[in-house]
Amino acid sequence: MATDAKGEPLVGRRIILGVTGGIAAYKSAELCRRLVGAGAEVHCVMTEAATKLVGPITFEALSGNPVGLDAFASSEPGAIEHIRLASLGELVVVAPATASFMARYASGLAEDLLGALLLATKAPVLLAPGMNTNMWEHSATQANAALLRQRGARFVGPEEGDLACRTRGVGRMAEPDRILEAAEAALAPQDLVRMKVLVTAGATREALDPVRFLSNHSTGKMGFALARAAASRGAKVVLVSGPTSLPTPLGVERVDVLSAEEMASAVLGRSRSQDVIVKAAAVTDWRPATPAPRKLKKGPGGGAERLILERTPDILASLGGSRRGGRPILVGFAAETGDPTAEAERKLEAKGCDLVVGNDVTAEGAGFGADTNRVVIVGRGGPPEQLPLASKATIAHALWDRVATLLVSPPRARSKEGVGRARGRSGTNRRSKA
């Protein structure tokens, strides 16, 4: 990343937020708030039509910066405003981008501040169209969108949904969260382009009977942050996830699974075509040897007192034991209660990984469900790397930084896959210590 590769993706990034005259302009106020909340320095520019829908003072208050309205006014003495903003911005986001704005931009019109700065900037441009379905589908708008794409503009949305004109269809501006995610991707280093990455996330569930299951507290946040960060850096990402209500990150293919067995088949079936596999999922380690076909009764003799558990397949060990030539690069996690370093080092060897990320799930702000984590990354040929408490997004980027260096280093220098190969087995693994 241009600023800090291990930092939050938007911290300190200078973003020009262009707002044009669509009803969704009110949602751009929230987008502005979210961008600022993510640490970006936001400078808003509004078209005249946009100011009829939302007052510039709203954007000024939310961004903490003056709002650009007039191509002939200057916020700094002697500065030519559209040139100043064009060179200041690392990214220009236009949300909403109306049909009329897109037509002007596609024609290269510089008749207002936003149009002029868009012609003058070398920064990437992200458009979030928002308009009536018929307007979006009109051949003129489609031709403009195609031309703008061809010239390098990125698009997020429009999405299908209820529209301000009381109809339903495609044309709804993407939600602020989605635009934020697309902005992250537009600014991220593209060091994982063409890489095929598989990430696992969340908890698996092992049925005791048709109504109950064994599981754990994983929410999927860590794995989803990893998938989102990899996709933003250009990777083609498959996310194999246990049950969670988290939204699928932009551009990520998601495969939902329930049990360890389902996760094993989803992961092992795809492993040969991956460049990297990161196993952040908390796979439930045991399952009933024989799940009850009917609900277990609570009374004496109901069956619960005789539950016999067996180990679930150790997916990570199978991966470590079956790969060849150092591919895919294999990253495991170690969820511990206490200092995770020693266990992470043991799992690195036992499961034939290239890296293991250890976390103490009992530490404040770390582990299950938290938005932050505190991890140690252990690898080969160097000391453990202890990362400070940080958001899961930051941890994810730091891990991809490490993986990116492995992707360019020769496999022979780092591979100890024979260890895992000797120990891992496909399918069920009943070793006493995972």
Residues that bind ligand PMT (CB under 6 A): 202, 218-222, 260, 279-283, 285, 312-316, 332-335, 347, 359, 361, 367-369, 434
The CA-CA-CA angle for residues 260, 271, 220, to 5°, reads 45
Nearer to ligand PMT, 89 or 242 (CB): 242
The DSSP H or E segment spanning 61 is helix 56-63
Nearer to ligand PMT, 28 or 312 (CB): 312
The DSSP H or E segment spanning 222 is helix 221-232
Cα gap 196→193, rounded to integer Å: 9
Closest by Cα among 255, 403, 262, 252 to 327: 403
- Assign residue 384 a region: left if phi > 0, alpha if psi is -120 to 50, beta otherwise? beta
Nearer to ligand PMT, 154 or 270 (CB): 270
- Assign residue 39 a region: left if phi > 0, alpha if psi is -120 to 50, beta otherwise? left
Radius of gyration over alpha carbons of the chain, in Å? 25
Cα gap 43→117, rounded to integer Å: 12
Nearer to ligand PMT, 63 or 284 (CB): 284
The DSSP line for 180-234 is: HHHHHHHHS--TTTT-EEEEEESB--EEEETTEEE--S--SHHHHHHHHHHHHTT
Shortest Å, Cβ 356 to ligand PMT: 8
Q: What is the rounded end-to-end Cα distance, in angstroms, of the chain?
A: 36
Cα gap 6→17, rounded to integer Å: 25
Shortest Å, Cβ 59 to ligand PMT: 34
Shortest Å, Cβ 197 to ligand PMT: 15
Is 44 assigned a catalytic role? no
**Which of 32, 44, 165, 353 is an active site residue?**
165
CB 334 within 8 A of CB 353: no
Shortest Å, Cβ 317 to ligand PMT: 7
Nearer to ligand PMT, 155 or 368 (CB): 368
Shortest Å, Cβ 281 to ligand PMT: 5
Could you tell me how far CA 48 lies from the centroid of its own chain? 35
Nearer to ligand PMT, 323 or 347 (CB): 347
Shortest Å, Cβ 10 to ligand PMT: 21
Cα gap 195→300, rounded to integer Å: 55
Angle between the N-to-C axes of helices 99-107 and 113-120, in degrees from 0 to 180, rounded to the nearest 10: 50
Structure tokens at 409: 């280093």
Cα gap 43→51, rounded to integer Å: 15
Shortest Å, Cβ 277 to ligand PMT: 10
Cα gap 376→213, rounded to integer Å: 31
Nearer to ligand PMT, 9 or 89 (CB): 9
Q: Which residues are catalytic?
A: 165
